[in-house]
Amino acid sequence: MSRRVHTADDVLAVAHRGDTELVVMPGDLVTPLARDVASDRGIRITERAAERGDVDGSVGGGPAPLRHVSGVNLVALNPFPVDLHRPDMDVRLLDVVTSEHGMPMAAGVMSLRAGSFPWTLDYDEVEYVIEGELHITTATQQAIGRPGDVIAVPKGSSITFGTPSWAKFLYVTYPADWSS
């Protein structure tokens, strides 16, 4: 069974329909923002009971072991390790797949609070927006990612990461050891 991530937009859709309950499947993830919005809107989050045949989808074998990181959207992120000279902007991340796992690419989760900062990529990167609104801007383009959107940023790009309020996204980079 595949796991689903329920975001604040899912809760708002329930409220918009006039329902008072969001039913999630066993193993599904509900983001912290979704839980806050549900509480504010009086929406109850209920987990459906597991049924025979429900599995977690784990697979083993192959040249390197699979990397399965459960609940990554719910774990605490670490402060960004680079001083951005923006003390009012809270930037956090957590690398969950690295070259130490035998992969040529890396992945992690990053969150941003209101603001923006410049960055030059010496690697290819793909962002998958989990929550909020992510703005990626170059000298000639701007992409605005919302939950479920994907933004691909090619190696060598000078960009600005930003958000008007808050954003959380999964990033995948190639190569994994881009900073070395």
* CATH number for the domain formed by residue range(s) 75-174: 2.60.120.10
Which is it for strands 44-47 and 21-24: parallel, antiparallel or unpaired? parallel
pLDDT in tens, 110-164: 999 999 999 999 999 999 999 999 999 999 999 999 999 999 999 999 999 999 9
Residue 126 confidence (pLDDT): 98
In a 13 Å sphere around the CA of 26, the CA atoms on its Cβ side amount to 10
pLDDT in tens, 11-58: 898 888 888 888 887 777 888 888 989 999 999 988 876 543 333 333
First to last CA, the chain: 38
pLDDT in tens, 87-115: 888 999 999 888 888 888 999 999 999 99
Instruction: Report the distance separating Cα 105 and Cα 124, nearest Å.
Output: 10
In a 13 Å sphere around the CA of 130, the CA atoms on its Cβ side amount to 23
Query: Where in the chain are the domains?
Result: 5-47, 75-174
Q: For the purposes of burial, counting CB atoms within 10 Å of the CB of 115, is it exposed (0-12), middle (13-18) or buried (19 or more)?
A: middle
Q: For the purposes of burial, counting CB atoms within 10 Å of the CB of 175, is it exposed (0-12), middle (13-18) or buried (19 or more)?
A: middle
Instruction: Report the distance separating Cα 62 and Cα 49, nearest Å.
Output: 33
